[in-house]
Amino acid sequence: MSTTPNEPEDELAGTEQPFVAHLVELRDRLIKAFIAVGIVAAVLAVWPGPAALYDILAAPLIATLPKGATLIATSVISPFIVPLKILLMAAFLIALPVVLWQVWAFVAPGLYSHEKKLVLPLVVSSTVLFFIGVAFCYFFVFGQVFSFIQSFAPKSITAAPDIEAYLSFVMTMFLAFGAAFEVPIVVIVLARMGIVSIEKLKEFRGYFIVLAFIIAAVITPPDVVSQLALAVPMCLLYEVGIWAAQLFIRHTKAPEEEGEVAK
């Protein structure tokens, strides 16, 4: 079908592929992603090893326990299963950029240029923000929370946490802080899709502060330190999201939207 001189050409014209071809490409991308995770897991299994990875993960808690206290395993297979889970988790996180690149390579051919300008920065920034949230939780929050909790422990009690319970706690906290640091991405998407305007987001600022503290109270342990450590960054990141949303809306407009603005 020919287009009129005034009608813009479709950027995706000629890029259509049969359904089977899409399935084959998806399979190849998934295989490459699994291979990347497998390679990283094999390297981590050799050095530093699953046991050492668990020691690294448990370091913030061990540092706050009384001298000579250690974690315990209440299940027979826990000393094997728990380090293995941490090995796989670490391998996936380290290989995550490769996994996301495979996802992007599969999706990108079906996107318009203005959509690529929006999606690629969001994928990269959301990954970086998730890692920052996990790092913030590990290097700052854990030390403060565990010290606060141990300060309330009676002298007659010897703390000996279970390794599976600790892993579950750590995973919950990592997901909570990683997700909380995605607030700017959520704000940008809502504003760019036109669901909420920038003005409405600014008006909702006070309600979001209350919402952030409610979320922190529900997700984190019942102590002031962890709740503030989650709620305060969420509030700051909400402001960052509003600022970033204005930039994204300005630089990721579709050609027809730019034409309307020009008129």
The pLDDT tens digits of the residues spanning 167-221 come to 988 988 998 899 999 999 999 888 887 888 899 999 999 999 999 999 988 888 7
What are residue 72's phi and psi, to 5 degrees?
A: -125, 160
3-state secondary structure of 99: helix
Q: For residue 31, what pLDDT band results from cuts at 50, 70 and 90?
A: very high
Mean pLDDT of 22-42: 92
Radius of gyration of the chain (CA): 24
Stated pTM of the model:
0.80
Q: For residue 263, what pLDDT band results from cuts at 50, 70 and 90?
A: very low
Cα–Cα dist 66/255, whole Å: 64
Cα–Cα dist 36/70, whole Å: 34
**pLDDT for residue 262 is more than 50:** no
pLDDT at 261: 47
Higher pLDDT, 113 or 198: 198
Cα–Cα dist 149/157, whole Å: 13
What are residue 162's phi and psi, to 5 degrees?
A: -80, 140
Largest Cα–Cα separation, the chain: 85
pLDDT at 65: 81
Closest CA to 170 of 142, 139, 151: 142
pLDDT at 22: 79
Q: For residue 154, what pLDDT band results from cuts at 50, 70 and 90?
A: confident
Q: For residue 69, what pLDDT band results from cuts at 50, 70 and 90?
A: confident
**pLDDT for residue 6 is more than 90:** no
pLDDT at 44: 94
pLDDT > 70: percent of the chain: 87
Closest CA to 229 of 135, 90, 125: 135
